[in-house]
Structure 1
Amino acid sequence: MKTLLVKYKSVIRFIVTFLAVYGILTIGYNLYLNVSDGSKFYPDYLTNLVSIQTEAIINGLGYDASIAPHPNEPSMKIIINGKYVARVIEGCNAASVIILFLSFLVAFAGKFKTTLLYGLAGSIIIYAFNLIRIVILAVGLYHYPWRREILHTVIFPMLIYGTVFLLWMVWVNRFSKNLKSNE
């Protein structure tokens, strides 16, 4: 058993580090959600911000977009040209995807400054792609409501998880200490 632990030390370290960082960030995010003042920023600050920015982008594309709190659930309704097309829920704010991205990054850490800067830049890229994803979904649902499933189940993974995967590959191949220690 000891020989297996020694042989797979780096794999075990990666898994333990990933799970620890993921657990800590997820618990922290859930604490944030539980103490979030829903009366000022409904349903929470980050989801509210994503909704406002989505509305601004859609309006910038020439549509008449507005957002409104959903009366029956903690979400924001996206309305385009008077038609309710989608809702932005807490899961749409990209926080959980950013937590996943950062957990992998720390588990495959490079130099502290490089890890910090790449984590910040990657989080901003993921957040931006998430806004683009929501805009594409909302406008797509406005024009093609019968394509709801394919828009949500194909566009979302393609943009968000594809972006995260590409960021991870760049990280592992360019900046990670683990790559340099294996050469």
Structure 2
Amino acid sequence: MQLEIDITSCSRVCAATDRPLQPGDVYFSLLQLEANEMIRKDFSAEAWQGAPDECVGWWRSRVPAKDDSQPVMAPIDVMLNLFEALEEVPAETEFRYLLGLLLLRRKSLRREDSIQDDKGREVLVLHCSRREKDYELIVSEPSPEQAMKLQQQMFDLLYGTREVTPAVPASQQRTE
């Protein structure tokens, strides 16, 4: 049985006051793992009281003006915290694998080795020089349909409320 992480995108409403966040407003986002579900909460600057101890990560952002076209990604430390937290959620192996690939692409992680675990699965050994730590990442490639869904969830979580345009249409993706 697979547990899906259903992560909402930036709500543009303060979680503490229910006040709508307006273009140009500074706000804070945090991620929390609650009952194997990743929750994102957004707070206006006025309502922000700091991150609780149990949060995976937090960051400061500004609601984009209507003419802003580029979303801003969550900080690398937040993505690394999420990557570490998902290690404890075995049902999210595919999501963690895609996040690991993103961190590799952004050069936050470096591939050191490839091994096989006791179940015969390929496991990448990754190193993070930022944290001086090694991680194991189970290679778990999702189906093209699942990859698009996970990619959208990741985009909503780490960027905001923008649709993801796939680089390769699902009909042309390899299904090996």
Asked if Structure 1 and Structure 2 have the same fold, meaning a TM-score greater than 0.5 normalized by the shorter chain, the answer is no
Q: Which TM-score tier does this pair reach, normalised by the shorter chain?
A: under 0.3
What is the TM-score with the length of structure 2 in the denominator? Answer: 0.25
What is the TM-score with the length of structure 1 in the denominator? Answer: 0.24
- Tell me which structure has the larger Cα radius of gyration: 1
Select the structure that is richer in strand: 2
